[in-house]
Structure 1
Amino acid sequence: MQQEPFFAFNSYHIALAVIGVIVILARWLPRLFSKREPAAAPLMILFGAAAALLIPGLPTLPDPRQTPLPWELVSELTVIVALFGAGMRIDSLRPWKRWKATSRMLGIAMPLTILAVALLGTGFAGLTVAGAILLGAVLAPTDPVLASDVQVGPPHEGAEHPVRFTLTTEAGLNDGLAFPFVYLGLIVAAEGLNPGSWALDWFLRDVVYRIALGIGMGWLGGRALGFILFSVPRGAVLANTGSGVIALAGVLLCYGSTELIEGYGFIAVAVLGLTLRRIEEAHHFHRQLHDFSESIEHALTALLLIALGSVLPILFVDLTWTHFAIAVLLILVVRPLSGWLALSKTDLDNKSRAVISVYGVRGIGSIYYLCYAGSHMEFTNEAQLWSLIALVILMSTILHGFTVGWAMDRIKED
């Protein structure tokens, strides 16, 4: 039997070492230039791409266009943990008027963004109507994962600035609210542009029923989990153990059960976090739950961003200048303008309106939605969609990631 060389360079071990180096460098290098929270997300993507191009022996990750399932599962788990964390961050829901900006961002800015992106897709990128609708739905939501730098702080910190409150609640709810438009794209791809045959069914099932079910299941899940954590048995409640894994268990239970009955799990886990946070509000366990889920979120995000960077050279093969123009228009014109218009009837000053309008970060949620759609149906323009969405994520993380600290400084309360 031939003996293996003493130094055997296993590709798996090379990958582990490279991931470790990238995460450390992405978190550490920005500290050499700024004391603000490091803009690690864009660096992880860029370093992941550089590693794929320059380091021999790295294992090849599955192409998300050909094998979407692993990308869908990891991005799905990352998003649902982030949505729960966003709900847990909100210390106070009242006064109710502070939700006005959020409701206008969800009810006005997001539909305007979907419409504008869909028109750009059909008019400039040559996408089919179904592909353009899907593109709008995928790119409209603010990402709850990569938008954490503009959100409110952990439980019990208080002093929630209106800008951070709006961006947190928007990111927590708009992922689920984009799902009806994902289904709309799938329906148009399957049945054609004939609203008379499917519009009512789409509205009643995918808009009314599934949204209502998501809200209801999230509220019930939050009340049930709160009862288990804080009420029974008296004198030996589970919250006193400090076991943060209950957060992940509760999220998985709520999300899975909601999806089983055809509700929107993304909405359910966000409402779960909001509801659970209202029970025994002063209890220290809320902070432990949040911190545990945030650690899981950060770990999954790092792996997913590095993985995305490693496949960028493949995804960018189909990139065109038209895609670049659409990405620039979305980030610098469509989202800011739709947000500015939506917030025109609020009490926010112009500086706050501008920050909310501009900082609609695109990221992990977009990966999930496109993988979900790709695993359910073959799209004519799927390669183009992946190229464009990967570019938008890269540009968004760079532009927003490196300027968010400066922007947040501008709106700090006196």
Structure 2
Amino acid sequence: MMDSYFSVLLIVGITTLLASFLPIVLKRFKISFTLPVLILGGLFYYINVPLPWPDPTWEIDLTLHFSEMVVIISLMVAGLKIGLNYSWREWLNPLRLLGITMPLFMAVVFIVSYYILGFSGELALLLAAVLAPTDPALASEIQLNKKQSVSSKNLGAQYNLTAEAGLNDGLAFPFIYLAILWSKSDGLNSEVWLEWLSYYVLFKIVVGVIIGMVIGFLYSYFTTRLSEGNTHKIHLAFVALSLTLISYGLAEVLNAYGFLSVFFAGLFAHYHQQKKNIEHAGHPSLSFISNIEKFLIVFWMLFFGGSIIAGIMNFVTIEIVLFSLCLVLIVRPILGYISLYGSKLNKRHKMVISFFGIKGIGSVFYLTYAIKHGEFSNTDQLFSIVALVILISILLHGLTAKRSMRAVNEEKEADSF
């Protein structure tokens, strides 16, 4: 037991050190740091490194809480970068992706899963909801890379992808709950629909948003009041992490959507500083929580690589492979482009935003959450499908993201409305 413990410490140290130097090595090749870590995870599993590997599917509780932590930290990072620097008109494009792309994507997944793959209604709905959101964690390399300001802000692909990822994780949750309710009942009767609309849609979304806004607002208010001569005493490195845990914990205690609370807390954390044009006081440190995000992503990728070798995709069929490829290569890009029709974004920005609907850690959280709280049967194939879609997304987007972002950033940023 003790030898295994020290072995794990050694592996953690080697892996984090390697991840620290990877950006330097990979800069020449213009690929994501997640790809080498993914391969390393597969190698570690193959040589039987003593880590808690999947066997072959993920252990529900461990996976649930680990993926949950990665997602909420990524959402706080996204919220802090965006802040309140964008007008309602500039939010229209992300809202197009949420209001058009996401529901149409879910409809496609449901129809194919139900009528072609032969899944039950609740499993088809669950798969649609699980795969719907883009991932705020694995998509970090194509999102905003610093805190924005009113005078100098990104209005193109990076902003739109960050805003989409920040909101759609929380907005996919109602459909996860609808699938859970369906799994526990004989069908979606009027009573189930009423409960879902009133509580799981209206109440949990509204309360979640309000909690996040209030926490962010209160933080910005008190730090502004304390800023005169006292700012240096505030340990800003810990603030972003504290706001993440407080907003998420309070929202979940009050049965609201914590994902939305975290994102909105990040948006409103700069409220008073921005209104009073205070650039130096009370801003939560992005560097500290961003490094925590990267640290957690490294180990998530490590275990994901191990799960691939462990056989998590053993339940994949030829039909599922074609289905998964189509989702990443055809369905998301086409639906994303359709939703941006009529916007003033140029063609290249539209194509990049549409193409980079990255699937990742959020999907794993939703799937494990639903399995834990619902009454689904025959879920092994869902694990395989989700793992395959994530793998395709990681490989495809990991090889193209840096090149695409570089090409887009070399252009003059187009207006996003």
| TM-score normalised by L of structure 1 | 0.91
Task: State the Cα distance separating 1:28 from its structure 2 match.
Answer: 4.5
Could you tell me whether the CA contact under 8 Å between 2:217 and 2:269 is conserved in 1? yes
| Structure 2 counterparts to residues 192-341 of structure 1, below 5 A | 192-232=186-226, 234-237=228-231, 240-281=233-274, 282-284=278-280, 289-312=285-308, 313-341=310-338
- CA gap of 1:64–1:317, structure 2 versus 1, over 3 A, is closer
Q: Does 1:385 align with 2:378?
A: no
Look up the match of 2:3.
10
Name structure 1 gaps, 5 residues minimum: 1-7
Letter in 2 for 1:257: L
Give secondary structure in 2 for the equivalent of 1:279. helix
Counterpart selection for 1:373 from 334, 350, 370:
370
Look up the match of 1:124.
116
Look up the match of 1:103.
95
Could you tell me whether the CA contact under 8 Å between 2:240 and 2:284 is conserved in 1? no
Task: State the Cα distance separating 1:249 from its structure 2 match.
Answer: 1.5
User: Partners in 1 of 2:113 and 2:326 — Cα distance?
Assistant: 12
Q: Which segment drifts farther, 118-127 or 19-28?
A: 19-28
Give secondary structure in 2 for the equivalent of 1:311. helix
Look up the match of 1:3.
none
Point out 4+ residue stretches in structure 1 off by more than 6 angstroms.
none
- CA gap of 1:32–1:227, structure 2 versus 1, over 3 A, is closer
User: Partners in 2 of 1:37 and 1:215 — Cα distance?
Assistant: 37
Q: Which segment drifts farther, 389-398 or 14-23?
A: 14-23
Counterpart selection for 2:137 from 141, 145, 148:
145
Q: How many residues align?
A: 405
Could you tell me whether the CA contact under 8 Å between 1:242 and 1:285 is conserved in 2? no
RMSD (Å) for aligned C-alpha atoms: 2.3
Q: Can you list the C-alpha shifts for 1:377-407, whole angstroms capped at 9, x where unaligned?
A: 2422310011111111111011001101111
- CA gap of 1:103–1:359, structure 2 versus 1, over 3 A, is same
User: Partners in 2 of 1:139 and 1:59 — Cα distance?
Assistant: 28
- CA gap of 1:108–1:57, structure 2 versus 1, over 3 A, is closer
Q: Which segment drifts farther, 8-17 or 341-350?
A: 8-17
Task: State the Cα distance separating 1:15 from its structure 2 match.
Answer: 3.3
Task: State the Cα distance separating 1:264 from its structure 2 match.
Answer: 0.6
Q: Percent identity?
A: 32
Q: Which segment drifts farther, 166-175 or 10-19?
A: 10-19
Q: Can you list the C-alpha shifts for 1:50-70, whole angstroms capped at 9, x where unaligned?
A: 2101x1352343558573111
Look up the match of 2:73.
81
Task: State the Cα distance separating 1:277 from its structure 2 match.
Answer: 2.6
Q: Can you list the C-alpha shifts for 1:35-57, whole angstroms capped at 9, x where unaligned?
A: 3765111322222022101x135
Task: State the Cα distance separating 1:210 from its structure 2 match.
Answer: 1.0
Letter in 2 for 1:245: F
Q: Can you list the C-alpha shifts for 1:260-282, whole angstroms capped at 9, x where unaligned?
A: 11111100110000111333134
Letter in 1 for 2:358: V
Could you tell me whether the CA contact under 8 Å between 1:244 and 1:289 is conserved in 2? yes
- CA gap of 1:33–1:227, structure 2 versus 1, over 3 A, is closer
- CA gap of 1:32–1:215, structure 2 versus 1, over 3 A, is closer
Counterpart selection for 1:183 from 164, 177, 180:
177
User: Partners in 2 of 1:122 and 1:396 — Cα distance?
Assistant: 23
Letter in 2 for 1:274: L
Could you tell me whether the CA contact under 8 Å between 2:211 and 2:247 is conserved in 1? yes
User: Partners in 2 of 1:33 and 1:316 — Cα distance?
Assistant: 28
User: Partners in 2 of 1:227 and 1:279 — Cα distance?
Assistant: 6
Name structure 2 gaps, 5 residues minimum: 413-417
Could you tell me whether the CA contact under 8 Å between 1:128 and 1:381 is conserved in 2? no
